Amino acid sequence: MAEPNDYKKTILLPQTAFPMRANLSKREPETLKRWNSEHLYQRVLDLHAQSPRFVFHDGPPYANGRIHYGHILNKLLKDIVVKYQGLSGHYAKFVPGWDCHGLPIELEVERSMRKRQATLEVSALREACAAEAGKWIEIQKAEFERLGVFATWDSPYLTLQPSYERGIVEALGAFVSHGLVYRGKKPVYWCSRCKTALAEAEVEYAEHESPSIYIKFPAAEPSLDQLRRVLQLPAEAAGLPVFAIIWTTTPWTLLANLAIAYNPDFTYVAVDVGGELWIMAEKLASQVMGATGRAGRPVGKIIKGAELAGAVARHPFEDRASPMLSADFVTLDVGTGLVHIAPGHG
């Protein structure tokens, strides 16, 4: 009986020491370990120490999670460029870095420490954020090394390092000394809960319908006494709190309120609404009462808007003043005759 053909013997194959199976899951870590033990990347750099420099600035990934496909594409493309320059005879040192500051790290720490958050000191929060960033730096570093990227992984730059922060201050000082810094206004995304500026990438958009609302702005001293005198309040109303009433279809802009506008030519009235006085345009008073479902009666003198000059209210939930200002764009079409002013919000 003829033996089955051994087709491997019928073709001419090169003789190599390479194993038949790649077995990458085992061999890759072994190769990386050998590269590290032999200090391969440092030897490559030493070889080209006197060669022309190729400088590559690594835009740092954010230290708040495992790497994803975007990180992989980004880092491998950089690695290809730097290795090509090295093979072309340049001293191409790839110094990796990490962005360690920002809101996502702080929010993650706050979530994990929610029970302690009320009593958490700022210094403790900062230490916890630094530890959180450090954890993800080590995880991402190991994952980038598994990609075979050559870099100075043992000496990266970190934005939380005092030396890095000092460099930022020194750079800013250089800009100032050369007259390149100026004070101006620029719209930025702002988180009202965290009280910090937001990067565009941190903003998520969603469809949202806001209700129109009426808001009470309490009169502040000494404007309270001024308003009481101008309104010539009767004795039974002289001690009641006074509020400027505004109406808005964009309640989310209330955080940015800096003033209240009135029309100097309109007439305004104080309405006693359950033991507090609401100031609004006389012609809109009945409309406001109907919309809010409150009953009230006018008290004191009907005044011209011009008599509100110099009055100051207080923001309803922020600790700041909201001065009352004259403006001819205030109309009687809708609202209260007092307009909420939030600069930069349309």
What per-residue confidence (pLDDT) applies to 116? 60
- Which segments of the chain belong to CATH 3.40.50.620? 25-177
Q: Which top CATH class is 213-341?
A: alpha beta
Determine contact, residues 96/152, Cβ cutoff 8 Å. yes
Please tell me what DSSP assigns to residue 155: S
Q: Is 96 helix (H, G, I), strand (E, B) or coil?
A: coil
Task: Output the CA angle 146-147-151, nearest 5 degrees.
Answer: 90
What per-residue confidence (pLDDT) applies to 103? 84
What per-residue confidence (pLDDT) applies to 123? 87
Distance of CA 232 to the CA centre of its chain: 48
Nearest C-alpha neighbor of 276 from the set 292, 252, 261: 292
Which of 65-79, 98-112, 124-138, 288-302 shows the lowest mean pLDDT across its residues?
A: 98-112
pLDDT tens readout for residues 52-109 = 999 988 889 999 999 999 999 999 999 999 999 999 999 999 999 999 988 889 888 8
pLDDT at 40 over 80: yes
pLDDT at 117 over 80: no
Please report the DSSP string for 164-219 in residue order: HHHHHHHHHHHHHHTT---------EEETTTTEEE-GGG-------PPPEEEEEEB
Which has the higher per-residue pLDDT, 287 or 25?
287
pLDDT tens readout for residues 140-164 = 999 999 999 999 999 999 999 999 9
CATH 3.30.470.30 fits 25-177, yes or no: no
Q: What confidence tier does 4 reach under pLDDT thresholds 50, 70, 90? A: low
Tell me the chain's radius of gyration from C-alpha atoms.
Answer: 34
Give exposure, 155-185, as e/b (b: 16+ Cβ within 10 Å): ebebbbeeeeeeeeeeeeeeeeeeeeeeeee
Tell me which residue has tokens 């400088």: 55
- pTM: predicted TM-score of the whole model, two decimal places: 0.60
- Which segments of the chain belong to CATH 3.90.740.10? 213-341
What per-residue confidence (pLDDT) applies to 322? 95
Mean pLDDT, rounded, for 316-335: 94
Determine contact, residues 305/326, Cβ cutoff 8 Å. yes
